[in-house]
Structure 1
Amino acid sequence: MSHIGSSGARLRTAARDSRSVHSAQKDLGAVRRSLRRDVRAGALAAVSMLPSVLGLGVASGLGAASAVISAVLGGAIAALLGGVPLQVTAPTGVLVAVLAPVTRTYGPAGSLTVGLLAGFLLIIASLIGASRVVRHMPVSVIQGFTIGGVLVIVLRQLTVILGPSGRHGGPVAFTAARALTAFMAHPHWHTVIVASVTMTVRLVDRRSPLPGLVTAVTIAAVTVLTLRLHLALHHIGYGTGGVPLPSVRFLEASSVPALMPSAALLALLVTLESLRAVISTQPINAADQRLEDRELFGQGAANLTAPLFGGIAATGSAARTAVNVRAGATSRVASLAGCSTLALISLTAAPLIAQIPRVALSGVVIATMVRSIDVKALRTLARVDRSQTVVVAVTAATPLVFNFAIALAAGSTLAASLALRQIARTAHVEPVPAPGRPVFFESLPVRWNLSAGLPEEQTDRFSLEGALFFATADRLLHPVRRSPARLIILDMSRVTSVDATALMALRAVVDAFARRGTHVLLRGVGPDYTKAMRAVGLANEARASKYPVADTGGTEARPPVGPPGPRKAADGCPVQDRQAPGFRRR
């Protein structure tokens, strides 16, 4: 018997070992498949952003090689040390809009110094947990600032296309006007044609199965064609001296105080851009400050290192990260593969890159900047609060005459003034009326049957009181984000005012919970805010559900009791016999 028992034990051990080997082989196969998918996604993302990286490097005044160094070295460091595994870090148009004036005033050394100082500031901000400060920035100011950067870069690239040399002083609006006047006096249409071709291809390239590949092929074809036709075009040039060595010879202590405001503005822009990517890729975990601070640390380390090798400032980009995700990226390997692909292309194709016409990349930069405008967010702002469009317009127009620091200050001051005015208008005295009809809203697209009920431990209730606007939205919604419940009830009967930034933040929370399968029920929404909530697409009225809400507290729902007849909602009004979004029939 003992012999039989020992044989059975050996058989069971062998079976477990066999299952372990099979599981290990399965895991190894999954890793290999994931590795291939990540490498392919990184290569596609690299090809997609290569034309814009080259163009932005030229637009910054430091050259295309400087932008490639930043995308390769800074992107790899941010991918290893950052908090978002799928983040793609590279130069962006808004950063170049800040760096280009610095380059014209202080030379390339000034831009490298600004990037180095911004890296220091980002690391300090990550260590002291300052990432939540940027959440208080109004959406209207951020959108206006983005549009202002787009206008500045577009006008400067138009100056390059239209002007003989593209070098004029003064505000960018006046420079573009002088370039247009000179062009009308002595037109040279070949530059306009080349820029228009690359710009058009870049605009429609986003809809292709391999975004960026068509643009890269078009630029190569245009380069070869212009060389064969011997057109008088300025080429971007490209250093082929191999791998650069680190150096701090560009740093001058005497220029640091004058460059510190630009470095602080650059650090703020990097924070805004990178945290937007955090929210877009990981909406549920976006409330984790440790994740945000780690991402800032990675961006700071990238900007601290890239200038030492001659690279300009870089930041995480929500648009490029989205391309990486759509390509199938699953880990940091994709970002590292993208950096390796960029390095390989820049080394092997350096002679061809050096012959690219500058106006061809100007068309790519114009299309890239135009695509960065969030039209959907602008429409939402206009529907929710038309006064916010004034903030957007002022913030966007100021850089055309002044600088970005003044634009940021002007937009923030105007947004704060409008918010305070809205809060002041809510202070009034009137007789207390009898309890009115309760208004209930439900989140979409979760389909939930409230009549089924939930255990008390799976339901969380929150009461919002006071003004819900850009300065309080993050603090008031923070405990809501951390709720693990399956049903969340928000009582908004004591909310005195709401602005567009708060509504969009609330919409982001509701959408994140919907993707997780959590239902959000808004109670006590005043009639003054109903139109704004519908405009932002936050909720639909729940009166037309099969089982109307019967509890005025908004916590439960029960089917109608009694003989069949017309159904009535909680306020006694008849309800149409139709299925409302967000509820399913039993």
Structure 2
Amino acid sequence: MSIRSYLQPLLPSTQDYRPVARTWRGDLIAGVTVGIVALPLALAFGVSSGAGAESGLITAIVAGIVAAVFGGSNIQVSGPTGAMVVVLGPIVAAHGPGVVAVVSGLAGVVVLLAGVFKIGRVVSYIPWPVIEGFTLGIAVIIFLQQVPSAIGAKAGPSTNAFVSAIQSFSTVSWPSAGWALLTVAVVAAIMLLAPRIHRLVPGSIIAIIVVTVLASLLALPLSRIGRLPSSLPAPHLPSVAWDALPGLAGAIFTVAALAAIESLLSARVGSTLADTGPYEPDRELVGQGLASIASGFFGGMPATGAIARTAVNVRSGGRTRVAAIVHALVLLGIVYLAASIVSLIPLAALSGVLMVTATRMVSVATVRSVVGSTRSDTIVFLITALITVSFDLIIAVGIGIVVAGFFALRALSRSGGVIRETLPGTTRPGDEHIALFRLDGSLFFGAAERMLAAMSGVRDVDVVIIRMSQLQALDATGARVIAELVNALERRGITVLVKGIQPRHLQLVTRVGVIDSLRHQKHLFTDLDAAVEHARDHVRRAAESAGRTAPSAPPAASPE
């Protein structure tokens, strides 16, 4: 395969824009709608991360355009997200806001390389309860992070969102706290009532306008966003001390992992919302990597796909990448035309927007579905959510996958079994000295020892027949246990016959020594009747040599 053919699926194509001739009206309306919805979120996520409102706005514009052009989804809208804010908060607290652009660029390189090496389909291995537990945990953290601004206080020194929220109450100052809480309540009320008027009414932007106007007219004692640039800054290399990079390695890879996982999950969900074609996971990683790199050059934050904005895009009629591009251009226009007005927005208003957004991230019906499914899925869901809130997002996903894997392996091991069967056909004298075992389901490291215990305890038999034709899955441990079982039985003087090794398992059982452990190559069968007749002949000859009464049988086969 040539380099060109390898990279071709990862690059933009004219095919991306073929439907635009018939979808441009819907794309234009959707782009404007999403731009209006994204404005307060971009500002709020920038402030909440510690990087500043300007950083959030730059990310929504720059990353929004780059990801739309280079990403693997036709309808994904990218920018700053709540999950990324959760990760960036401790990084900013430890290293300062100036490091955000560096982390964004280097994390983007990692995500870009992940796409180039085509590992995008890894998201398909993340179980549903892990995804929902992760989402619930993020929603709780986002809500808790807004508590200090919602009460007009400073965040506590702890890096844990819950502890920091509790600590912030010690710095509450009245009556400014009352005005901040009232602002949050008004924003929440408008956002909750707006969809009842029409599902496309941008409740967040209406709420922001209302409380900003009232706060300015009444000169309320509320903290504001403050001065914003009236244009995009020129791209430049982020400055960082080279000796600080080793200390940022963990943060960079954490941000990269989150950016990749969240973007792929968002793209996967987005592909189910409308018939806009499948998403390309590897190209999506390339696009998101380039988006974060570009964002870093302009002083922005790491970007990811945003499922909430993507859903608004689809519901508003967006069907191609043009909608996401228009959304970014709308935000760019706001920067150039309304920066001075945006700077007057109270921080408490942004907290209200994020609190409502956090509550909307959690679907009560989905939580009930997960909790009401199986006990193991409920445990995975709760563990992932608790670790997300208490410790770390990426660790939570990793532990959630491990716990889900444990339950899956346990269920798989229980699906396998060893069943002792009666011999087919009419019972003959001597059949009591033959044991026929059928291996069912999966035989791997989680079930191998149980199978060994079930078969190794066989007594008062001369021949054991092991049927493997019904075995669905076999790994090296399972095959090795079969070989050890055969050796153990043969040492006790019990002849072992193996029947029905499937072609897909033949190479494995040969390599680990199952066939070599048999007393003779003729003890390997493809037909059960032939194996049973051979076993009966062996029992007859064993009885004769032991001086027992030989059972009646057809003429003996030629000796081995």
Alignment partner, residue 129 of structure 2: 140
- Per-residue displacement from partner, 1:323-370 (whole Å, max 9, x unpaired)? 111211232221111111111123222112111110110010111122
Alignment partner, residue 117 of structure 2: 128
Aligned-partner Cα distance in 1 for 2:132–2:226? 34
* Partner SS for 1:363: helix
Alignment partner, residue 324 of structure 2: 335
C-alpha RMSD over aligned residues? 3.1
TM-score (norm 1): 0.65
* Partner SS for 1:429: strand
TM-score (norm 2): 0.67
Report % sequence identity.
32
Further displaced range: 117-126 or 365-374 = 365-374
Aligned-partner Cα distance in 2 for 1:284–1:241? 36
Alignment partner, residue 367 of structure 2: 378
Match of 1:322 among 304, 308, 311: 311
Please tell me whether residue 402 in structure 1 is matched to residue 391 in structure 2.
Answer: yes
Alignment partner, residue 249 of structure 2: 260
- Aligned positions of 1:385-424 closer than 5 A: 385-424=374-413
- Aligned positions of 1:19-418 closer than 5 A: 34-162=23-151, 164-180=153-169, 183=172, 188-209=177-198, 211=200, 213-282=202-271, 291-418=280-407
Aligned-partner Cα distance in 1 for 2:418–2:48? 57
Does the 8 A contact of 1:38 with 1:328 survive in 2? yes
Does the 8 A contact of 1:48 with 1:211 survive in 2? no
List runs of 5+ in structure 2 lacking aligned partners.
1-18, 423-439, 444-469, 474-560
Change (3 A) 1:383 1:305: same
Does the 8 A contact of 1:163 with 1:180 survive in 2? no
Residue 159 (structure 1) shift? 2.3
Aligned-partner Cα distance in 2 for 1:151–1:495? 43
Aligned-partner Cα distance in 2 for 1:36–1:289? 22
Does the 8 A contact of 2:188 with 2:352 survive in 1? yes
Aligned-partner Cα distance in 1 for 2:39–2:201? 8
Aligned-partner Cα distance in 2 for 1:269–1:195? 29
Does the 8 A contact of 1:89 with 1:316 survive in 2? yes
* Partner SS for 2:300: coil
Alignment partner, residue 13 of structure 1: none
Q: What amino acid is aligned across from residue 264 of structure 1 in structure 2?
A: F
Further displaced range: 70-79 or 169-178 = 169-178
Residue 182 (structure 1) shift? 5.2
Change (3 A) 1:494 1:367: farther
- Aligned positions of 1:472-483 closer than 5 A: none
Aligned-partner Cα distance in 2 for 1:155–1:210? 27
Does the 8 A contact of 1:203 with 1:371 survive in 2? no
Q: What amino acid is aligned across from residue 339 of structure 1 in structure 2?
A: A
Alignment partner, residue 490 of structure 2: none
- Per-residue displacement from partner, 1:115-168 (whole Å, max 9, x unpaired)? 112211111111111112222122222222222222112111112223522243
- Per-residue displacement from partner, 1:479-511 (whole Å, max 9, x unpaired)? xxxxxxxxxxxxxx9889xxxxxxxxxxxxxxx
Q: What amino acid is aligned across from residue 136 of structure 2 in structure 1?
A: I
List runs of 5+ in structure 1 lacking aligned partners.
1-29, 434-463, 468-492, 497-586
Does the 8 A contact of 2:223 with 2:347 survive in 1? yes
Does the 8 A contact of 2:68 with 2:321 survive in 1? yes
Aligned-partner Cα distance in 2 for 1:432–1:277? 51
- Aligned positions of 1:385-464 closer than 5 A: 385-430=374-419
Q: What amino acid is aligned across from residue 198 of structure 2 in structure 1?
A: P
* Partner SS for 1:113: helix
Aligned-partner Cα distance in 1 for 2:44–2:279? 34
Aligned-partner Cα distance in 1 for 2:25–2:394? 44
Q: What amino acid is aligned across from residue 336 of structure 1 in structure 2?
A: I
Alignment partner, residue 522 of structure 1: none
- Per-residue displacement from partner, 1:440-462 (whole Å, max 9, x unpaired)? xxxxxxxxxxxxxxxxxxxxxxx
- Aligned positions of 1:504-543 closer than 5 A: none
Change (3 A) 1:56 1:429: same
Change (3 A) 1:249 1:45: closer
Change (3 A) 1:140 1:226: same
Alignment partner, residue 531 of structure 1: none
Residue 391 (structure 1) shift? 2.0
Alignment partner, residue 428 of structure 2: none
Change (3 A) 1:298 1:49: same
